[in-house]
A = this chain, B = another copy of it.
Amino acid sequence: MQLQDFGFGTQIRKSPYFDATVRWGAAGFSVYNHMYIPRDFGDPEQNFWNLVNDAILCDVAVERQVEITGPDAAQFVQMLTPRDLSKMAVGQCKYVLICNAEGGILNDPILLKLAEDHFWLSLADSDILLWAQGVAVHSGLHVSICEPDVSPLQLQGPKSGQIMEALFGPEIMDLRYYWFREMELDGIPLVVSRTGWSSELGYEIYLRDSTYGDALWQRIMAVGMAFGLKPGHTSTIRRIEGGMLSYHADADIHTNPFELGLDRLVNLDMEADFIGKFALQRMRDNGITRKQVGLVIDGDPMTGPNTAFWTVNAGGAPVGKVTSAVYSPRLKKNIALAMVDIAVAELGTGLEVLTHQGETTATVVERPFYDPRKRLAATGAAAPAQALA
């Protein structure tokens, strides 16, 4: 695939790492938050093994930041999410949901608290900049909301700790899971957090001046190569193994937090007001009618992720849809996330899935599919972001 194929000229933005990723072998791109993201450095299974055995460096500049500052910033940010932020410290990250007035999910970003009156939302794929600016119009709160010049990289995998130590010195090993620090590397201004979208030990490195994109990428690769670092991309295999959401695929404006089992991100009993509180209270009281489950799908190994939502049947009647599916070469199984009627959501339930190759059988299983806690004792790696953060 050539970029020229798109024919869109400058309508889609390029990451500050774009030239570097092309030089390092990026052969295919997708689009996320109006920006190109490399999604092809060769065999995706090899990318998965690079991630789980060593480390990969991923251009995730598409995770655009929404910066909220001003005297009312803390109150405003709390208004944007059902998660209780009252105990959040400066230097901390939190995985949060952004819900609309109906309790539907608009995004599932990482929130960073840079100061008492200074926040970033590190976004999944939707224009929360517009949502937040829109909410602010009649809010009566004093806030400034913009997209700053910030472009994250993800350094993920079991070797990422050693690479970070080689880059930043031994103090970086004190950085706790879901905390961040403002740092410099060769004079390049950064925020460094222990977060990621891989369910592996990992870090996000937020570049705060896009003119250094090439220099930062080169520096990390140069240091990392001795540890087996490879250029890569977020792994669909690993994130489904870890039961992590992909916005638009597994959740959208019509999905509510309870359907995803994310009750812990909704604090309905806190005093503070937030958008969607009434709708979410009603949902909690009334209960849900459908639920996200894990599925193991029988049949030959899938050759790639599903490119359409597959209908899920129970005894021939439709009961839901597969939202994300892939073959895990580690588990040697086709694994999937699906949204199904609550009546068929119990572990062990047998279902049918209409794949693009025909109908097959499937079984409801626990998520995550691969339990990193078994590795924790041995490696010191963290549990998946969305499970604990």
Which of A's residues lie within 8 Å of B, judged by CB? 1-14, 27-32, 34, 39-40, 44, 100-101, 106, 125-140, 147, 233, 236, 246-249, 253, 275, 304-309, 323-326
Contacts and interface: CB of A to CB of B under 8 A. Distances in A.
Given A7-B304, A127-B131, 6 more contacts: A1-B1, A1-B2, A6-B28, A8-B305, A9-B249, A127-B130
Given A14-B308, A126-B130, A130-B130, A1 B5 contact: yes
B324 A137 contact: no
11 contacts: A4-B307, A5-B39, A8-B39, A8-B249, A9-B325, A10-B324, A34-B126, A100-B130, A130-B130, A134-B136, A134-B137
Contact of A5 (B40, B101, B130): B40
Contact of A137 (B1, B4, B34, B135): B135
A16 to B, nearest CB: 12
Given A5-B1, A130-B131, A10 B307 contact: yes
Nearest to A129: B253
Nearest to A324: B9
B7 A39 contact: yes
Contacts of A132: 134
A132 B131 CA distance: 8
Q: Which of A130, A275, A305, A308 lies at the interface centre, i.e. has the most chain B CB atoms within 10 A of its CB?
A: A130
A157 to B, nearest CB: 18
Contacts of A135: 134-135, 137-138
Contact of A323 (B10, B101, B138, B324): B10
B134 A130 contact: yes
A295 to B, nearest CB: 14
A101 B31 CA distance: 28
Most buried by B among A5, A27, A308: A5
A126 B127 contact: yes
Contacts of A131: 127, 130-131, 133-134
A13 B248 contact: yes
A34 B308 contact: no
A130 B106 contact: yes
